[in-house]
Chain A
Amino acid sequence: MTQCLCQSKKLEKLHEIIAVHKGKAGTLIPVMHEAQDLFGHLPLDVQSMIAEGLEVPLADVYAVATFYSKFTLQPKGVYSIQVCLGTACYVKGAQALLDKLAELLHIKVGETTEDGLFTLEATRCIGACGLAPVMTVNDEVYGRLSVEQIDDIVHKYMEMAWKDEEHGDTSESR
């Protein structure tokens, strides 16, 4: 199965990452960043591999994984929608954007849609205050937003996902 091959390649890559950092001080967080980039999240087996590889207690890895908001133990959707709730965005109505998205996707903030397509998150300032209110979908930044634009943006990504599916390019084999 393609997925297994993919997973084993990822595990191999993780071993390489650990080998590069092993023995140096303070490398736990950098390794976890790279591991999360690789797997999308940090499931327990990945955490234990890191613990074993770097020779730190698993409890320390778990402690770090749950402390920092950038690390997640749950898989995220194909598209991660992040609405900036920095002060500048908030003052300019970011909360209304978030409410609208929650309503449209039928999920609460922090949740992922059942089809695994979208994850909705409120994020702290991304430093693009001049474009407030701002949201990002994966790496794409949308600035100077209004509630009316939300529908179109969400549908754009739905269509992209549908097109991918037609071409047989599902998230699993990616």
Chain B
Amino acid sequence: MATCGIAAGAQKVYETVQQEIARYGLAVTVVPTGCIGLCRYEPIVDIYVPGQEEAVRYGQITPEKIKKIIALHLFAGQPVPDYVCQDHRGKQMMVALRNSGVINPESIEEYIAVGGYQALAKALFEMTPQEVIEEVKASGLRGRGGGGFSTGLKWDYSARAEGDQKYVLCNADEGDPGAFMDRSILEGDPHSIIEAMTIAGYAIGADRGYIYVRAEYPLAVKRLEKAMSQARQMGFLGTKISGSAFSFDLEIRLGAGAFVCGEETALMVSIEGKRGEPRPRPPFPAVKGLYGQPTVLNNVETYANIPIILRRGASWFSSFGTEKSKGTKVFALGGNIHHTGLIEVVMGTPLRHVIYDLGGGIPGGKKFKAAQTGGPSGGCIPAAYIDTAIDYENLLELGSMMGSGGLIVMDEETCMVDVARFFLEFTVDESCGKCPPCRIGTKRMLELLERITSNKGEKGDLEKLEQLAKTIQAASLCGLGQTAPNPVMSTLRYFRAEYEAHIEERKCPAGVCKAFLEYTIIEEKCRKCSLCARTCPVGAITGKIKKPHRIDTEKCTQCGLCMSKCPVKAIAKRPKQ
């Protein structure tokens, strides 16, 4: 029961389950869990029967369906194969998501039952802070928020830095459009983050920490608060943790909708209660961070790996992945793909495996065009590179990046110039405005892209775009500006012909940009029923019943309503004549 599941109707299903088992008088335990990652099938119900090893997983459940399932499966012992959904978790490797969708996130007992807080105990009673840092270093874990800096090294710098007060921060301000793994982990396994941050506090010598969460994630905040108070009660958080000499406590701080606050220096000034504007580095936060004190800041997914690394050992973790990218990576699979949802794969997994085996391929028999990774800081990987092994280095080489892990699949009906424009619009909106290259440069780039997509492109526009991109990359203050041109650069690199078609041939090959298209009625197919004329909200369609209808392209706003309402599919979108 994460946000996605609840949005799909999980709450009603949950209530129905409880009513029904009460009605039948069944001795069944009902456990709400966090995100399972199979968003396409939400809401999901797993049924475990004692004596049977595997659960039966039902998908796209409605109150009606669950009534039938309870009557047949639980009462009569007959599973209902019609509602069983395909599960591809078996083809994945769950490390960061190990508990999501498995345990009840609101129960500390369940977390402890799957080995929770053992890593903290091990760190406190069997290891010195330096040994903890060495273990994290040896695991090869790198920051999962995007940059990919060595986590152990970061901790080491903070541990060595001098300060009267040190801080441990968690970046849960997941602002990347198209990424939601942090939300799923917070909603599905909040204790693992608390445990990991406490371990980090022990390692660097901090007794305070903040979790900076997006205000847009109310359920995550609620579960975190509950988890924190449970941890305090059990003595895993607070003074003298588990009877040791170490004290540590956490506070939640809500973000307020600024993408730039994902940048570490901006996040820190935001916690201090100011405008989230970044500052130049060095000094790095590890040395001078929050309130000028040594600070460790990691992303949610990075922390989620820590407890299991300590429990199972660095060598276990580094035994999978590629040479320089160890462990697994969670991706939020979205866009034009069958199985949208969360997946976790070993570093180095080929993109093809992700898109076709786990994602189920492209719907509607359409062709795969590109995969966008890294959000507004990343780029597109074209179909030609579908066999690329996904790791930090390979993605960078292709002009994209790992980012926080959004993976948006695009089919042939996606216009890459429009996608670049979309991302630039985002960065222009989200630029904090402190440094001119980012504030003014991205705006100029957006204007050029808007011109191209509205059929007003001119010769030389592409060169201007490239020049602006290089300047912005070199001169911006923080990561937001430095990476803002990436979506443009990468689409120019792989889809230059599409840009040229917009400018020179006055065409949008993918059929997306409105300025190049018009709606028309195919006379042979038209039944002259007049439904389209009655549907059109702007009165652009004229014609009487039994007379041919026409669309006035001047008036038409291209909303597409007529096309969706036409019973005989007589309305078509075509390039402007």
Interface positions of A (Cβ within 8 A of B): 25-30, 32-33, 56, 60, 63-64, 67-71, 85-88, 90-92, 96, 99-100, 103-104, 123-132, 134, 141-143, 146-148
Contacts and interface: CB of A to CB of B under 8 A. Distances in A.
Contact of B183 (A30, A33, A123, A127): A127
A33 B258 contact: no
A22 to B, nearest CB: 13
A88 B256 contact: no
Contact of A85 (B177, B259, B271, B538): B177
Contact of A141 (B7, B39, B256, B372): B7
A99 B557 CA distance: 9
A60 to B, nearest CB: 7
Interface in B508-529: none
A100 B8 CA distance: 23
Interface in B179-231: 179-180, 183, 215-217
A71 B559 CA distance: 32
Given A68-B257, A91-B414, 17 more contacts: A29-B253, A29-B270, A30-B254, A33-B215, A69-B258, A70-B216, A71-B256, A87-B177, A88-B340, A90-B422, A125-B180, A127-B3, A130-B334, A130-B341, A131-B4, A134-B7, A146-B564
A126 B177 CA distance: 8
B47 to A, nearest CB: 22
Contact of B39 (A32, A99, A129): A129
11 contacts: A29-B253, A68-B257, A71-B257, A87-B178, A88-B178, A88-B332, A99-B557, A104-B537, A125-B178, A131-B42, A132-B334
A30 B253 contact: yes
A96 B537 CA distance: 14
Contact of A25 (B216, B255, B272): B272
A127 B560 contact: no
A33 B249 CA distance: 22
A71 B183 CA distance: 22
Contact of B334 (A88, A123, A147): A88
B97 interface: no
A66 B259 CA distance: 14
A54 to B, nearest CB: 9
Contact of A27 (B180, B273, B341, B422): B273
B341 to A, nearest CB: 5
A131 B178 contact: no
A69 B255 CA distance: 10
A131 B39 contact: yes
Nearest to A140: B7
Contacts of A134: 7
B340 A91 contact: no
B149 interface: no
On chain B, which size bracket covers the interface?
A: 35 or more
Contact of B559 (A100, A124, A126): A100
Given A33-B256, A143-B8, A129 B178 contact: yes
Minimum-distance CB pairs A-B, first 7: A130-B39, A88-B334, A68-B256, A127-B180, A28-B273, A141-B7, A86-B177
A146 B565 CA distance: 12
B572 interface: no
A129 B180 contact: yes
Interface string B1-38: 00110111000000000000000000000000000000
A26 B169 CA distance: 14
A143 B39 CA distance: 11
Nearest to B430: A124
B461 interface: no
Given A26-B273, A64-B275, A125-B176, A87 B253 contact: no
A125 B4 CA distance: 13
Contact of B537 (A27, A87, A103): A103
Contacts of A99: 557, 559
Interface of B: 3-4, 6-8, 39-40, 42, 174-180, 183, 215-217, 253-259, 270-276, 291, 332, 334-336, 340-341, 372, 375, 406, 408, 410, 414, 419, 422-423, 426, 432, 537-538, 557, 559-561, 564-565
Contacts of B276: 67-68
A126 to B, nearest CB: 6
B124 to A, nearest CB: 28
Contacts of B372: 87
B275 A87 contact: no
A147 B559 contact: yes
B340 A124 contact: no
Given A103-B557, A129-B332, A29 B254 contact: yes
Contacts of B4: 127-128, 130-131, 143
B458 to A, nearest CB: 25
Nearest to B254: A33
Nearest to B332: A129
Contacts of B270: 29
A125 B217 CA distance: 11
Contacts of B419: 91
B145 to A, nearest CB: 15
Chain B CB count within 10 A is highest, among A25, A86, A104, for A86
A68 to B, nearest CB: 3
Contacts of B274: 28, 60, 63-64
Contacts of A70: 215-216, 255-257
A92 B3 CA distance: 20
Given A30-B253, A129-B39, A91 B408 contact: yes
Instruction: Identify which of A67, A85, A88, A100 gathers the most chain B CB atoms within 10 Å of its CB.
Output: A88
Given A26-B273, A88-B408, A91-B408, A67 B254 contact: no
B180 A128 contact: yes
B336 A91 contact: yes
A96 B256 contact: no
A88 B337 CA distance: 10
Contacts of A86: 177-178
Contacts of A67: 258, 275-276, 432
A63 B272 CA distance: 14
B6, B39, B291, B334: residue with the most chain A Cβ atoms closer than 10 Å: B334
A104 B341 CA distance: 32
A97 to B, nearest CB: 10
Contacts of B564: 146-148
A96 B176 CA distance: 22
Contacts of A91: 334-336, 408, 410, 414, 419
